């Protein structure tokens, strides 16, 4: 299942509906399940590159319209998951969105600090496969630049952050329990980068999804308990101070034997380069 907040209706009712959504059974549904399970409070002053993706028109005001996570990799460039910008997730084509924006510099979604910056352009990886979630990356161009320190470097191929056993941290405003208890304040969870074999065994194909090591990264804990969940999709997985993954999909949240699957940033770098 993908890890976004589901949009089933517009306006103030949208978030109420999203909060009632249970985790999806398959990664083919690109709409709904990721906040940090087993985590702790986090602060944007320590991780200023973590941003929220928002649309009040589509998701209401209750949580400032937040429906996915995202991460700043350049002053005006933000990465998120491609499935976050699907018509299934948004209820409309992303090109028709007039209030799509990122929320930066704010722990509390409805707090008074930070900035809300409009998205002026969205590029969705044309190689994204909504059935498998392979190629799950999109690039947002902001109408206004973020401060320089609000940017995190991307880990290229061969980076030590991709090695199995590496300590990593995932960030988000998503579901903290797996049953629709959405956070209003930023949280993080410590996880481990797991061997590709862990996700290949958990997701060999069929309704639970197919893991592709060339495009995806496996992370979590073998015993479960720490994971992303609904609402965290597109948010960052960070190791050694560099971005190694984007929250993409998984089966359940924090369950033993069902690690989280992330978009592999080294692969995303290549997809973005190919697009020019």
Angle at 187 between CA 73 and CA 75, to 5 degrees: 15
Closest CA to 39 of 199, 229, 194, 245: 229
3-state secondary structure of 235: coil
Q: Where are the beta strands (DSSP E) in 194-241?
A: 216-220, 236-239
Q: What is the DSSP letter of 274?
A: H
Closest CA to 146 of 187, 101, 105, 99: 105
Spatial distance between the Cα atoms of 78 and 27, rounded to a whole number of angstroms: 23
Provide the 10 A C-beta neighbour count for residue 113.
11
Q: Of 33, 107, 136, 159, which one is the catalytic site residue?
A: 136
43 as an active site residue: the answer is: no
User: What sections of the chain are H helices per DSSP?
Assistant: 13-19, 56-59, 87-90, 196-202, 265-274
3-state secondary structure of 190: strand
DSSP lists the bridge partners of residue 129 as: 134
Spatial distance between the Cα atoms of 99 and 70, rounded to a whole number of angstroms: 16
46 as an active site residue: the answer is: no
136 as an active site residue: the answer is: yes
User: What sections of 191-253 are H helices per DSSP?
Assistant: 196-202
Q: Of 2, 29, 83, 159, which one is the catalytic site residue?
A: 83
Q: Of 86, 150, 233, 266, which one is the catalytic site residue?
A: 233
Q: Which residues are identified as catalytic?
A: 83, 136, 233
């Amino acid at each position: 299942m993908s890890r976004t907040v589901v949009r089933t209706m517009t306006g103030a009712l949208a978030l109420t509906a999203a909060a009632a959504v249970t985790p999806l059974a398959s990664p083919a549904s690109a709409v709904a399940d990721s906040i940090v399970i087993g985590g702790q409070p986090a602060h944007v002053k320590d991780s200023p590159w973590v941003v929220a993706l928002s649309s009040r028109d589509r998701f209401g005001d209750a949580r400032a319209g937040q429906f996915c996570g995202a991460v700043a990799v350049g002053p005006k460039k933000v990465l998120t998951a491609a499935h976050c910008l699907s018509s299934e997730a948004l209820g409309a084509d992303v090109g028709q969105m007039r209030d799509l924006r990122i929320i930066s510099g704010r722990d509390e979604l409805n707090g008074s600090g930070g900035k809300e910056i409009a998205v002026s352009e969205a590029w969705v990886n044309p190689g994204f496969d909504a059935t498998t979630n392979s190629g799950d990356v999109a690039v947002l161009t902001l109408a206004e630049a973020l401060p320089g320190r609000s940017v995190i470097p991307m880990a290229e191929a061969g980076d030590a952050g991709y090695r199995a056993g590496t300590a990593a941290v995932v960030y988000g405003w998503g579901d903290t329990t797996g049953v629709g208890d959405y956070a209003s304040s930023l949280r993080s969870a410590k996880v481990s980068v797991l061997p590709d074999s862990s996700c290949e065994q958990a997701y060999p194909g069929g309704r639970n999804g197919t893991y592709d090591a060339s495009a995806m990264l496996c992370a979590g804990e073998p015993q479960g308990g720490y994971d992303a969940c609904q609402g965290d999709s597109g948010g960052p997985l960070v190791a050694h101070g560099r971005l190694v993954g984007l929250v993409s999909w998984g089966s359940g949240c924090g369950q033993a034997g069902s690690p989280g699957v992330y978009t592999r940033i080294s692969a995303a770098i290549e997809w973005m380069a190919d697009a020019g």
